[in-house]
Amino acid sequence: MDVRELQSINLAQILKEPGTAEAEGVIREAITAGEDVLPLQGEAEWSVTVTSAGEEFWLSGEVHGTVLMECRRCLKPTPQPVDAYFQHLLEFHPEVEELTLVQNEDDEDVYRFGEPDLDLRFFLAQAFALAMPYTALCDESCKGLCPVCGADLNVTECGHVQGDAVSGALAELGKFLDEV
């Protein structure tokens, strides 16, 4: 296995004495964010820095990649560049089994971790997902799918002319309103 594909950073050194740790790597094929699988075009690149700050640690990082999102009109996979940046406060608690979000005395969000080898998958996926656009459009002039048969109107003429379908529906609505 390619070590650079591991999404983690070893903090053993800065748990012993104050300092900074750095790591970088790539993510291939897809980023998994909770239930969502975000397919990638090419590799996403990430880098993080963790710096001691008294009892706590500052995690800052970035992840850059191109996600494939469905065009909101025709559903075609559409590349969307994503540049995500994140910063979090961390605390080391050896008894913590899973990354846990808590509030400290200053009401700041703090993530508690229990392994010197900090798993970064959650942080990278969360930042990436938050930086994605809500929807994608393959082209401003995308004609979308035929509402009758579902054909991609960018590539075929299925014969159900969308304009007629819409004006037909409007005519029906007009008739209905006249009758009311």
Q: What is the binding site for Zn ion (CB under 5 A)? A: 71, 73-74, 138, 142, 146, 148-149, 151, 158, 160
- Residues 162, 24: Cα–Cα separation, whole Å: 49
Rounded to a whole number of angstroms, the minimum distance from the CB of residue 158 to Zn ion is 3
Nearer to Zn ion, 139 or 172 (CB): 139
Rounded to a whole number of angstroms, the minimum distance from the CB of residue 164 to Zn ion is 11
Nearer to Zn ion, 143 or 175 (CB): 143
Nearer to Zn ion, 73 or 88 (CB): 73
- Residues 81, 45: Cα–Cα separation, whole Å: 12
Give 172's DSSP letter.
H
Rounded to a whole number of angstroms, the minimum distance from the CB of residue 63 to Zn ion is 26
- Residues 45, 166: Cα–Cα separation, whole Å: 45
Within a 10 A sphere around the Cβ of 31, how many other Cβ atoms? Answer: 26
